[in-house]
């Protein structure tokens, strides 16, 4: 087994993170939607500390990542962790990196006394679905995710009269 480690991302990791984000978006057929840039990522991740990221490295080479942030459950009365992106580069899949990243993230969730770890998965991504179910994760089929972006978000914000 090659020498690998799971590390917390640092500012200097942003170029590698952006590369992996683009690779993931390409896999999900949404590469055109990636508009993130290094300066914005640095601001949100390392100045504002809104998001965090774990990186899997094999012999010093970044091979995967788990980008996440805290959310809050009113029903549990405590924070949770939301996994925004889990990605392992294709050449390194099947070696345990995805599981190692999720194990470390689960440990962080427990260490921080959070109530849950959750994420979304595209319906067509059967390899990921099988992987998640094998770990004991259960789908939340009765919930539908809604999103406002771009003009819709701006239009709704413009109606704020409070």
Q: Catalytic annotation on 27?
A: no
Cβ burial, residue 14 (10 Å; 0-12/13-18/19+): buried
Q: How far apart are CA 17 and CA 10, in angstroms?
A: 10
Transcribe 83-133 into DSSP letters: EEEEEE-GGGTTSSHHHHHHHHHHHHHHHTT-S-EEE---TT-HHHHHHHH
Q: Please pick, among 72, 97, 132, 146, the residue that the annotation labels catalytic.
A: 132
Q: Which residues are catalytic?
A: 132
């Amino acid at each position: 087994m090659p020498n690998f480690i799971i590390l917390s991302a640092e500012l200097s990791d942003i170029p590698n993170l952006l590369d992996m984000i683009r690779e993931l978006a390409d896999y999900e057929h949404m590469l055109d939607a990636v508009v993130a840039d290094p300066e914005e990522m640095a601001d949100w991740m390392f100045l504002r500390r809104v998001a965090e990221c774990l990186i899997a490295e094999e012999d010093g080479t970044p091979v995967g990542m788990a980008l996440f942030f805290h959310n809050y459950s009113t029903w549990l009365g405590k924070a949770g962790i939301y996994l925004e992106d889990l990605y392992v580069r294709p050449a390194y899949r099947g070696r345990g990196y995805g599981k190692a990243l999720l194990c470390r993230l689960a440990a962080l969730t427990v260490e921080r006394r959070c109530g849950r770890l959750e994420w979304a998965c595209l319906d067509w991504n059967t390899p990921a679905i099988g992987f998640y179910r094998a770990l004991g994760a259960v789908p939340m089929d009765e919930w539908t995710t809604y999103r406002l972006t771009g003009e819709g978000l701006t239009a709704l914000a413009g109606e704020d009269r409070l």
